[in-house]
């Protein structure tokens, strides 16, 4: 997600200084005019807004709070905008550390798919005070088409956990439904068209799967391994709040089983192929 969003920023006139462990991603942004930073510290120095987009809570805390990290090098008066999907408790720790340093902070996790990010059509769930939101809004406008204010810092992360818990659980139900329909002899076009015309219509089947796995494409936009991480965030939050999530727990277990196989690094739409493999049937594909 970080690469297409950064690309949109660079194309729309923002001055980017970028760092990634994958040098190839930096090269793609440099081809658009961005400067390649030599380190996290180099990326943070001199920036008006430092944007982080990382896989999980430990990565965010290491990059932001580490000895050579963002907070050790960020300029006074700058903003830290974390766009990662992480444990809300981790977001709170980062927010407190920023407050102690007098650095403005906002959590702005991202909704929608990679294909939306490439088109500059992402959705953002923002936790921020008003002055900080006003400073980052031009960047959000350049990367997306929908901005939702969710409350104070930390509330964007909380909303993202709920959003991903819902969509990932629905994705597993869709995979099971299609596997069952295939076993019953229904063709995938019929299942797509009928469910798309009833209240069974949903983004996981009718946007995600028809653009990924049902075309035979399981290259990762969002891996099953990361999906398991996000489901785990929801299950942990539920345990902390003493709330039972029985259906979610079942879906979480399926993601856990899938990530123990070669499916771990595939796009999460490959849940369909995983369900079909368990059912002993060939996964359906849409006709060209």
How many domains, the chain?
2
Residue 209: which residues within 8 A CB-CB, separation 6 or more? 171, 174, 178, 269, 272
Q: Domain check: are 127 and 213 in the same one?
A: no
Q: Is 160 a catalytic residue?
A: yes
Tens digits of pLDDT across the chain (288 residues) = 899 999 999 999 999 999 999 999 999 999 999 999 999 999 999 999 999 999 999 999 999 999 999 999 999 999 999 999 999 999 999 999 999 999 999 999 999 888 899 999 999 999 999 999 999 999 999 999 999 999 999 999 999 999 999 999 999 999 999 999 999 999 999 999 999 999 999 999 999 999 999 999 999 999 999 999 999 999 999 999 999 999 999 999 999 999 999 999 999 999 999 999 999 999 999 997
In terms of Cα–Cα distance, which of 118, 198, 203 is closest to 167?
A: 203
Q: Which of 131, 153, 175 is the last residue of a domain?
A: 153
| Residue 259: per-residue pLDDT | 97
**208 and 273, same domain (yes or no):** yes
- Supply the CATH number for residue 197's domain: 1.10.1040.10
Contact between 120 and 142 under an 8 Å Cβ cutoff? The reply is yes
What does the pLDDT read at residue 113?
85
265 with 163, same domain: the answer is: yes
pLDDT at 284: 98
Classify residue 40: in a domain, yes or no.
yes
**pLDDT score at 40:** 97
CATH code, 19 = 3.40.50.720
* Residue tagged active-site, from 12, 36, 137, 160: 160
Question: Residue 39 falls within a domain, yes or no?
Answer: yes
Residue 185: give the domain boundaries: 158-279
pLDDT at residue number 288: 77
Q: Read off the pTM.
A: 0.93
Output the pLDDT for position 211.
95
Q: Say if residue 84 is in the same domain as residue 216.
A: no
Residue 287 lies in a domain: no
Same domain, 6 and 62: yes
For residue 284, is it within any domain? no
26 and 109 co-located in one domain = yes
Q: Which two tokens stand for residue 128?
A: 């921020």
């Amino acid at each position: 997600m970080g690469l297409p969003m950064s690309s949109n920023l660079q194309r729309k006139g923002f001055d980017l200084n970028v760092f990634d462990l994958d040098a190839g991603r930096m090269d793609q942004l440099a081809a658009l005019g961005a400067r390649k930073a030599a380190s996290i510290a180099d990326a943070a120095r001199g920036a008006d807004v430092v944007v982080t987009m990382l896989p999980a809570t430990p990565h965010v805390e290491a990059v932001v709070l580490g000895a050579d990290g963002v907070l050790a090098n960020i300029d006074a008066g700058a903003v830290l905008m974390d766009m990662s999907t992480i444990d809300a408790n981790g977001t709170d720790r980062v927010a407190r550390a920023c407050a102690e340093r007098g650095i403005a902070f906002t959590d702005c996790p991202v909704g929608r798919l990679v294909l939306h990010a490439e088109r500059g059509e992402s959705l953002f769930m923002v936790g921020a005070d008003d002055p900080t939101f006003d400073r980052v809004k031009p960047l959000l406008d350049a990367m997306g088409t929908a901005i939702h204010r969710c409350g104070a810092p930390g509330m964007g992360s909380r909303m993202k956990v709920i959003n991903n818990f819902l969509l990932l659980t629905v994705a597993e139900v869709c995979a099971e439904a299609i596997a069952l329909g295939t076993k019953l002899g229904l063709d995938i076009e019929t299942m797509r068209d009928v469910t798309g015309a009833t209240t069974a219509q949903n983004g996981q089947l009718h946007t995600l799967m028809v653009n990924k796995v049902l075309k035979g494409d399981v290259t990762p936009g969002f891996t099953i391994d990361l999906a398991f991480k996000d489901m785990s965030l929801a299950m942990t939050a539920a345990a902390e709040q003493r709330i039972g999530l029985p259906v979610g727990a079942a879906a979480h277990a399926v993601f856990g089983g899938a990530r123990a196989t070669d499916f771990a690094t595939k796009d999460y739409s490959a849940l369909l192929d995983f369900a079909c493999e368990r059912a002993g049937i060939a996964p359906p594909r849409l006709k060209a």
